[in-house]
Chain A
Amino acid sequence: MSKGVVLVVDDEAQIRDILSFYLKRSGYQVLIAENGARAMAEMAKAQPDLILSDLRMPEMSGDELCRRVKGDPATRDTYFVLVSAMDGSASKIGGLNLGADDMIAKPFHAQEVLAKVESAFRIIAMQKEIKRQNQELTRFRERVTAELALAASLQMGLLPTVPGSLPGFRYTHRYLPAEGIGGDIYTILPLPEGGLALMLADVSGHGVTAALISAMVKTSFESQVRLGGGPLDWAQGMNRYLALNTLAEQFATAFLARLDPVQSEMRYVVAGHEAPFRLPGGARGGLHRPEPLTGQGFMLGIDEGLPFSERTAPMQRGDRLILYTDGLVEVEREDRRLLGAEGLIKVCAELPADADAAADRIIEAARDFNEPAPFTDDVTLVLLDQVD
């Protein structure tokens, strides 16, 4: 196998012969042409790795050939060496400005040309290697992107279908992961004795790791709910599970609630999460005063032994719950102001009766406030109405 293909372009037969002889002896395959036009014709048949071209030739000169080779995307990676009778640095710079990769001054020693060719092929080999690695990287990126897209759609599948309903309730959500895939998760489960169990969680960090843990959060919530009990038992169980099964820096803020439409009340635990709002009569639309459901609990998964506390709030027909993750209100604008819970309360004070229209209104208002800064963290918004 040859070490590579060299196209020698010169109008003097003697020079073509000398170069051809030395190059072949060194293991190169040699193509020859007597001017630029012939060289173009030769290149249409076989693609050389390197062109050694004289500058002054009839029909098409070396500089014109160089311009054409370097101007065509199909051939511009071909290494081009101009062989010029004109000595002096001015013409050397001129040749390199044309896009030639190197220059050789005439008269030359065949050994000098060979040395240049050898060094050119080392560069060519490197360029080929870089190209190959680039292609590999591109393929890798495409594969990762495709896998992320698949994971993202899987994660979407973990969320409830909306708009959704359970006896006595209607709900909807907006879910905007920061990186296609995210660490926010929420679940609504019907309870066998009536009512429902509800959880919204925000796992620390972003991306794939957070997404994996969000699936663990959902699963552990579901198994806790199956065991019975209330939000306090669930929070303790999930906390133990997450503390033991995730790394030190991984935990989740969460809001857990159990809604009982017969008793018209809700028991809940706030585990380091943004306090959701309860809007008495909010499902009917109009003006309301959002009541934050505050609580003092640690995030889930920090430490097995940390305490949680359960609270109770009324939840009646026509009431609306609004839950969100901090990505909605913690976008830092240029003036460093955040929408914050206070800003969101104002937005939620007057919303349409239709939960989907209300959800859109909230997202829009948060976006408008943040403008031009986009959401940077995962954003989840959940609206739950207890129907009349």
Chain B
Amino acid sequence: MLNIQTRQEGNASVVTIQGKVNFEVTAQLRDVIRDTVTTHQPKLLVINLEGVSFIDSSGLGLLVAARNSVDKNNGKLHLCCLPAQVKKTFDQTNLTNYFSIFASEQDALRGA
């Protein structure tokens, strides 16, 4: 089961994801992210991955696509709170260097 929550913090949108991000749920997550980006056109999109137990290649693909769509709007995508298992996947695919990754949601919102 995937649990997705979104909220606005000033010019920023925060998407919080909990659960397993795999092929079965990417469509659901894709819709939420697309809606958030088109509705709010945020200067900053923060995706909080703290509650994510597992992410597969389709999930990674989705995050890459999210960054592309935010880039197109001259916005930024910040990821935060990667659990160890997810961090490992990011390291292995070198995506740690592709995304701006922050330790806490506060840091991600400040962009520091």
Task: Tell me whether A and B are bound partners.
Answer: yes
Q: What residues of chain A have their CB less than 8 Å away from a CB belonging to chain B? A: 202-206, 247-251, 253, 272, 274-275, 296-299, 302-303, 306, 326, 330, 332, 336, 377
> Within 8 Å of chain A (Cβ to Cβ): is B111?
no
B45 to chain A, nearest CB (A): 15
Q: Once the chains bind, are B65 and A204 in contact (CB under 8 Å)?
A: no
Pairs A–B under 8 Å by Cβ, sample size 15 = A205-B57, A205-B58, A206-B23, A248-B64, A248-B65, A248-B69, A249-B61, A251-B64, A272-B92, A272-B93, A272-B95, A298-B94, A298-B98, A299-B93, A306-B98
Q: Once the chains bind, are A253 and B68 in contact (CB under 8 Å)?
A: no
B75 to chain A, nearest CB (A): 16
Interface of B is mostly: helix
Q: Once the chains bind, are B93 and A332 in contact (CB under 8 Å)?
A: no
Q: Once the chains bind, are B64 and A302 in contact (CB under 8 Å)?
A: yes
Fill in one digit per residue for B75-112: 1 if any A CB lies within 8 Å of its CB, else 0.
00000000000000000111101100000000000000
Using Cβ atoms and an 8 Å threshold, which residues of chain A touch B20? 332
Closest to A253 in B: B93
* Closest A-B pairs by Cβ, 9 of them: A249-B61, A272-B93, A248-B65, A204-B57, A204-B61, A249-B65, A205-B58, A298-B94, A248-B68
Q: Once the chains bind, are B94 and A296 in contact (CB under 8 Å)?
A: yes
Using Cβ atoms and an 8 Å threshold, which residues of chain B touch A272? 92-95
Using Cβ atoms and an 8 Å threshold, which residues of chain B touch A297? 94
Given A205-B57, A206-B23, A332-B20, 10 extra CB contacts under 8 A: A204-B57, A204-B60, A248-B64, A248-B68, A249-B61, A250-B61, A251-B61, A253-B57, A302-B98, A336-B53
Using Cβ atoms and an 8 Å threshold, which residues of chain B touch A247? 65
A326 to B57, CA, bound (A): 10
Chain B positions 36-61 with a Cβ under 8 Å from a chain A Cβ:
53-54, 56-58, 60-61
A26 to chain B, nearest CB (A): 51
Closest to B23 in A: A206
Using Cβ atoms and an 8 Å threshold, which residues of chain B touch A275? 92
Using Cβ atoms and an 8 Å threshold, which residues of chain A touch B56? 330, 377
Using Cβ atoms and an 8 Å threshold, which residues of chain A touch B26? 249
Interface of A is mostly: loop
The A/B interface has a contact count, at CB < 8 Å, of 57
A265 to B57, CA, bound (A): 31
Closest to A251 in B: B61
> Within 8 Å of chain A (Cβ to Cβ): is B17?
no
> Within 8 Å of chain A (Cβ to Cβ): is B2?
no
Q: Once the chains bind, are A274 and B92 in contact (CB under 8 Å)?
A: yes
Q: Once the chains bind, are B62 and A249 in contact (CB under 8 Å)?
A: yes
Q: Once the chains bind, are A298 and B57 in contact (CB under 8 Å)?
A: no
Using Cβ atoms and an 8 Å threshold, which residues of chain B touch A330? 56
Closest to A183 in B: B57
Max chain B C-beta neighbours (<10 A), residue from A247, A275, A298: A298
Using Cβ atoms and an 8 Å threshold, which residues of chain A touch B60? 204, 299
Using Cβ atoms and an 8 Å threshold, which residues of chain A touch B58? 204-206, 249
Fill in one digit per residue for B5-44: 1 if any A CB lies within 8 Å of its CB, else 0.
0000000000000001001001000000000000000000
Using Cβ atoms and an 8 Å threshold, which residues of chain B touch A251? 61, 64
Using Cβ atoms and an 8 Å threshold, which residues of chain A touch B95? 272, 298-299
Max chain A C-beta neighbours (<10 A), residue from B20, B26, B54, B92: B92
A330 to B53, CA, bound (A): 12
Q: Once the chains bind, are B61 and A298 in contact (CB under 8 Å)?
A: no
Contact of B64 among A203, A249, A336 (CB under 8 A): A249
A306 to B94, CA, bound (A): 10
A174 to B95, CA, bound (A): 28
Given A274-B92, A298-B94, A202 and B64 contact (CB-CB distance below 8 Å): no
Using Cβ atoms and an 8 Å threshold, which residues of chain B touch A250? 61
Using Cβ atoms and an 8 Å threshold, which residues of chain B touch A332? 20, 54
A306 to B65, CA, bound (A): 15
Closest to A306 in B: B98
Using Cβ atoms and an 8 Å threshold, which residues of chain B touch A206? 23, 58
Closest to B64 in A: A302
Closest to A327 in B: B56
A250 to B61, CA, bound (A): 6
Using Cβ atoms and an 8 Å threshold, which residues of chain A touch B92? 272, 274-275
Max chain A C-beta neighbours (<10 A), residue from B23, B54, B68, B94: B94
Using Cβ atoms and an 8 Å threshold, which residues of chain B touch A249? 26, 58, 61-62, 64-65
Using Cβ atoms and an 8 Å threshold, which residues of chain B touch A298? 93-95, 97-98
A303 to B53, CA, bound (A): 27
B42 to chain A, nearest CB (A): 18
